[in-house]
Amino acid sequence: MLRRTLLGAALAAPALRPAVAQPAWPSQPVRLIVPFAAGGPTDIPARLFAERMGDFLPNRVVVENRTGAGVVVGTDAVAKAPKDGLTLLYTTVAHASLRALFPRLLFDPFADFTPVALVGVIPMIITVNRDFRATNLQELQARLREARGGLDYASSGNGGALHLATELMLRRMGVQGNHIPYRGTAAAMPDVLNGTIPIIVDVATSALPFVQRGETRALAVMDDRRLPQLPNVPTTAEAGFDNLTAYTWHMVLAPSGTPEPVIAAVNAAFNRAGAEGVVQTRLGDLAMRLVTDSTPATAAQWLRSETDKWEGLIRAANIRVE
């Protein structure tokens, strides 16, 4: 009787099976979704990371460009992807302004994503036409004040990183300007170079060639350290304006709910690739300051801080995307 009771209990209890080890990430090729066009300043670093990680991971990393509605289409694709670490988002500061600019999104930029790694930051540079009567930020502030909102400034598009960085500068200076949005920086630069538009705040990657050729004048770098490529150009703080920093930054995110061991593995892979000399050199030439000790926690903290900053500015300036 006792034997039957014990046997019945054993059959009724859940079977104890040895733990099955999860396959090492990635068990299949990884899709790295870039919500920007191929060949652009976001795509180039993403492809470099993908190439370098393919050398030491068990499967390759494939960049897939998914554009549309700014970064919305590509970001939405990752939000709806399986939570297995095989579909990742490689995005920029644009992620921090999504919620404020697009209130009817079909995904939540925060609840639907887990930050994995902040891979690098690129500062903005405040530049003017080479013949414009300003050689420093105080003189620029004076010209803007004299014009009473009549001076034009260019951007790569309404609500974009350049627009927001310029608006931040104007508010710190206590002045106004007239925003002229273009369809990308390349479309804006001819008018900046011929003096039609005197001011553009641009990402260092695209601003550097014009400054180095003497076609525009750099007044300040919107960072807490000078750029190696422009050692004589002060930071905004050195130029007299504290708390005036702006970057485009590159971050990797995974769908929310991706297992923590997978998140840790992705993080380690990006940090390892970012520490390689060839990556440091090539992205350093593009004015990117690589972050090779990022953790999911520090990436999340950075994203939250940047979101608070830009959402507050968008609301205060009543910036809307038509």
104 and 34, same domain (yes or no):
yes
What letter would DSSP give residue 248?
E
Amino acid letter, 303: L
Q: 81 and 103 in one domain?
A: yes
Which residues contact residue 157 at a Cβ distance below 8 angstroms, ignoring those fewer than 6 apart? Answer: 163, 181, 182, 183, 184
* Pairing mode of beta strands 152-155, 113-129: unpaired
Residues 112 and 152 in one domain: no
195 in a structural domain: yes
Tokens of 299: 């990436």
205 and 131 in a common domain: yes
Shared-domain flag, residues 149 and 289: no
- In this structure, the answer to whether residues 116 and 263 fall within a common structural domain is yes
CATH of the domain at 86: 3.40.190.150
CB 150 within 8 A of CB 117: no
Beta bridge partners of 123: 247
Distance between CA atoms of 258 and 211, rounded to whole angstroms?
43
The reported pLDDT for the residue numbered 8 is 43
- With b for 16 or more beta-carbon neighbours within 10 A and e for fewer, the 34-46 pattern comes to bbbeeeebbbbbb
* Contact indicator for 122, 249 with CB cutoff of 8 Å: yes
Q: Are 180 and 42 found together in one domain?
A: no
The half-sphere exposure of 156 on its side-chain side, counting CA atoms within 13 A, is 16
| Total of domains in the chain | 2
The DSSP result for 110-173, as a single string, is: TTTEEEEEEEEEEEEEEEEETTSS-SSHHHHHHHHHHHTT--EEEESSTTSHHHHHHHHHHHHH
17 Cβ neighbours under 8 A, 6+ residues apart = none
Verify that 313 and 178 share a domain, yes or no: no
Count the Cβ atoms, other than its own, within 10 Å of residue 221.
26
Q: Print the domain residue range for 167.
A: 123-221
My answer on whether 104 and 131 are in the same domain is no
One digit per residue, the tens of pLDDT, for the chain of length 322 reads 433 443 344 334 444 444 445 567 889 999 999 999 998 889 999 999 999 999 999 999 999 999 888 899 999 999 999 999 999 999 999 999 999 999 899 999 999 999 999 999 999 999 999 999 999 999 999 999 999 878 999 999 999 999 999 999 999 999 999 999 998 899 999 999 999 999 999 999 999 999 999 999 999 999 999 999 999 999 999 999 999 999 999 999 999 999 999 999 999 999 999 999 999 999 999 999 999 999 999 999 999 999 999 999 999 999 988 6
| Helix (H/G/I), strand (E/B), else coil: 220 | strand
Whole-prediction pTM: 0.89
In a domain, 138, yes or no: yes
CATH code: domain of residue 150: 3.40.190.10
In this prediction, residue 1 carries a pLDDT of 43
User: In terms of domains, do 260 and 112 share one?
Assistant: yes
Q: What residue has token string 């993908």?
A: 50
In a domain, 4, yes or no: no
